[in-house]
Amino acid sequence: MATREALREFQARLAGRLQSAHTTNVAAWLAVEAGAGRYLFPLGQAGEIFPWTAPTPVPYTQPWYLGVANLRGGLWGVAQLSAFMGDPAARTQAVSEAAREQTRLVAFNEVLEVNCALVVDRLVGLRGLEAFASSQAPDESAPPWMGATYTTAEGENWQELNLQVLASRPEFLSIGA
pLDDT digits (tens, 9 = 90+) for 120-163: 999 999 999 999 999 999 999 999 999 999 999 999 999 999 99
DSSP string, 158-175: EEEE-HHHHTT-HHHH--
pTM: predicted TM-score of the whole model, two decimal places: 0.81
In the chain, where are the structural domains located? Answer: 2-173
Side chain identity at residue 1, one-letter code: M
Any idea which fold 2-173 has?
Answer: OB fold (Dihydrolipoamide Acetyltransferase, E2P) (2.40.50)
Rounded to whole angstroms, the Cα distance separating 147 from 142 reads 9
Rounded to whole angstroms, the Cα distance separating 143 from 161 reads 10
Looking at residue 12, its pLDDT comes to: 67
Rounded to whole angstroms, the Cα distance separating 62 from 72 reads 25
